[in-house]
């Protein structure tokens, strides 16, 4: 690790605020921050939500260095107290419904500005790492042969763009505009990370967006065929690692950095990986591919929110250039195949996916389950 990282990493007195701390990405960020010796203050909408609070309290070192506070993105008066005394902020909280509406845009933009405005009034804040999305980079454009990088912005004028992508574009632009409006000599530093579709092990029983999609793929009744959709994908552990490196790295101040493994992955590839790994465990996984016209017809006739959400993404394969993350954050990305398999096993551990057979019998040789991926069951569950 170079000097740009080391100069900040040794400050054990740093308090890092993580917004939406019980979320999929944020929970991994909190876990890795605690493992790296940081003190963490995490926000949740309600401390009375025992399932979300317990997933944070169960993390190693949480009893020593984790504080939880209530804060709602829609309540600006919650945030001055939340940011008080913190050195860094990871603003990760944002709505992520399968099918977004106008409220999604309002909450994403308003919540981001509420956090940034509170930070601007707090003299201890050095830097904010804001979580955006590759949706703010490529959505609304035809994929064709274009290679998307951090210089690209989603096209708000396109008919191919949905409200979730609009929310990410509008919220990120609002953050940059607000940050640039602050006096340069006294403003906090800002780095924006743009992860692609996030997969990998879960740390709670919460049904977040990508977990819902992978769960559906595990049953041909709920995912009868794969539409011709490719997505950039990234392991959630890499996303958390990128947040910490961006926080510690002075070379990425004022930068926008895409966080994604390459190449992008077809949905049909995901179902093939799942089929190969879980076919002998009683799961009926479809490997049928859906032509574009049928996917559009199915979405229209059934009003299926998952197919409705992907209709704008049908078409040529996506191409991303992740070299900036490799250069500035020294990222080395996990294989997505491993991420997907680890994700499903963790979802089984948390009861999101019900096991079809007894894993102990499989481990003893009654059924081979890991030949296709060479992933040992015990080994792949160590990070959950």
Catalytic positions, written as ranges: 168
Answer whether 375's CB lies under 8 Å from 368's CB: no
3-state secondary structure of 226: strand
DSSP-derived secondary structure for 154-223 = --TT-TT--HHHHHHHHHHHHHHHHHHHS-TTTPPEEEEEEE-EEES--SSS---HHHHHHHHHT-TTT-
**CA dist., res. 28 & res. 243, Å (int):** 10
What is the Cα–Cα distance from 30 to 52, expressed in whole angstroms? 13
**Cβ contacts of 10 within 8 Å, gap of 6 or more:** none
Burial 270-294 (b: 16+ CB within 10 A, else e): bbbbbbbbbebbebebbeeebeeee
- The residues, any chain, with a CB within 8 Å of residue 107's CB and separated by 6 or more, are 73, 74, 94, 95, 167
CB of 82 closer than 8 Å to CB of 43: yes
Sequence-distant (6+) residues with CB within 8 A of 136 are 153, 154, 165, 168, 169, 172, 194
């Amino acid at each position: 690790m170079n000097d740009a990282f080391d100069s900040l990493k040794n400050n054990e007195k740093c308090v890092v605020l993580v917004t939406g701390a019980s979320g999929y990405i944020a929970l991994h960020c909190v876990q890795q921050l605690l493992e790296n010796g940081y003190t963490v203050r995490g926000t949740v909408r309600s401390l009375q939500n025992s399932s979300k609070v317990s997933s944070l309290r169960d993390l190693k070192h949480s009893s020593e260095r984790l504080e939880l506070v209530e804060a709602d993105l829609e309540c600006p008066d919650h945030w001055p107290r939340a940011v008080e005394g913190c050195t860094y902020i990871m603003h990760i909280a944002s709505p992520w419904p399968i099918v977004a509406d106008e409220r999604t845009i309002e909450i994403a933009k308003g919540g981001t500005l509420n956090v940034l405005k509170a930070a601007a009034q707090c003299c201890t804040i050095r830097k904010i790492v804001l979580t955006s999305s590759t949706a703010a980079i490529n959505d609304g454009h035809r994929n064709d042969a274009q290679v998307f990088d951090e210089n690209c912005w989603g096209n708000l004028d396109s008919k191919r763009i949905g409200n979730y992508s609009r929310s990410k574009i509008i919220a990120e632009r609002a953050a940059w505009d607000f940050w640039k409006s602050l006096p340069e000599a006294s403003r906090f530093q800002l780095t924006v990370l743009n992860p692609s579709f996030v997969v990998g092990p879960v740390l709670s029983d919460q049904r977040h967006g990508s977990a819902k999609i992978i769960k559906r793929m595990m049953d041909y009744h709920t995912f009868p065929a794969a539409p011709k959709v490719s997505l950039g994908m990234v392991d959630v552990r890499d996303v958390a690692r990128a947040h910490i490196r961006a926080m510690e790295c002075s070379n990425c101040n004022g930068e926008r950095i895409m966080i994604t493994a390459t190449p992008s992955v077809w949905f049909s590839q995901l179902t093939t990986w799942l089929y190969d790994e879980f076919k002998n465990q009683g799961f009926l996984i479809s490997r049928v591919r859906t032509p574009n016209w049928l996917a559009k017809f199915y979405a229209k006739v059934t009003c299926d929110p998952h197919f409705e959400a992907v209709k704008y993404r049908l078409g040529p394969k996506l191409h991303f250039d992740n070299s900036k993350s490799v250069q500035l954050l020294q990222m080395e990305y996990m294989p997505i195949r491993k991420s997907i398999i680890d994700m499903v096993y963790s979802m089984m551990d948390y009861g999101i996916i019900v096991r079809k057979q007894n894993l102990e019998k499989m481990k003893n040789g009654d059924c081979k389950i890991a030949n296709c991926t060479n992933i040992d069951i015990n080994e792949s569950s160590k990070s959950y």
